[in-house]
Amino acid sequence: MSLRSATLLFVAMLTAGFSFAAEQRVYKAMILDGQNNHDWRSTTPMIRAALEKSGRFEVSVVTAPPSGAPAVQWDAFAPRFSDYDAIVSNYSDFGAKPTPVSFLDALTRYVREGGPLVVVHAANSGMDHYPEFARMVGMGWRDGDRLYVDDEGRTVRQPKGQGPATAHGRPFKWTVRMWATDHPVCAGLPRIWVHQTDELWAAPRGPAQEVEILATAVAPETKQNEPVIWTVKYGKGRVVATLMGHDADSMKCPGFAAVLARGAEWAISGQVTQKPPADLPAKLD
């Protein structure tokens, strides 16, 4: 073998080694909980298990002070967001005392400067005293514009004050329809699949700026394709929001786990290396 051929072979092997190492990197994820109008104590372990099962994440749980905690507790609570590759929020102050602005300033700054954020179910809501949070997550249980998808796959915007308010009925088993099938979070998943019994919100609302809807489900209240998975571009950061995950039972769905882990990886790197789950209840069209 010539010296040139040997050099090229060595470079190819070295490059392949770097590629393999990058694909195998284990990311540091922080689950934020401590307040929520849902049972965060039972759902945080499910979120953690889904992330760890993917093999891509080392997970830490950071629990915020409870609602109404003295200011001194919040002063001492200052997680270093920059120590983590992604934040997964299972936190909301909906119906509770407002979260200190200093904490929300730090969180939004982390995302704006490029930090990835994944927001689960009720964590899309709350923090109404801090408008920038609504901008960061796009939509939730609040006033604002409504986005939905028509039957041709076009995103429709309904301005604030028009159409239905955000609502939900009893949990039921609903069908998820993937629209952004080429998006890394969705790629390889069935275009239509069945989600375990869960609470489905109709007409989530908010600023809805720089939002891409990845998947929808038909809400009985509106009979329209309501967003259940979407992304938001916020500054330099990527946000993935899912309305799946009302309780621990709904999080047992392999589809929830897949979207959570794939969404976190994409928010970090812009790609997904995880294989689609083999046990996802599919209804192929």
Domain 25-269, second-level architecture: 3-Layer(aba) Sandwich (3.40)
Measure Cα distances from 277 to 6, 94, 138, 186, 200 in Å: 41, 33, 28, 12, 22
Residue-wise pLDDT tens for the chain (285 aa)?
554 554 444 444 444 444 444 456 899 999 999 999 999 999 999 999 999 999 999 999 999 999 889 999 999 999 999 999 999 999 999 999 999 999 999 999 999 999 999 999 999 999 999 999 999 999 999 999 999 999 999 999 999 999 999 999 999 999 999 999 999 999 999 999 999 999 999 999 999 999 999 999 999 999 999 999 999 999 999 999 999 999 999 999 999 999 999 999 999 999 999 999 888 776 544
Query: What 3-state class would DSSP assign to 83?
Result: helix
Question: Would you list the domain boundaries of the chain?
Answer: 25-269
245 vs 248: CA distance, rounded Å: 7
Measure Cα distances from 9 to 5, 15, 227 in Å: 6, 10, 49
Q: Give 90-146 as a 3 state SS string.
A: CCCCCCCCCCCHHHHHHHHHHHHCCCCEEEEHHHHCCCCCCHHHHHHHCCECCCCEE
**Nearest partner of 236 among 149, 117, 112, 148, judged by Cα:** 112
pTM of the model: 0.90
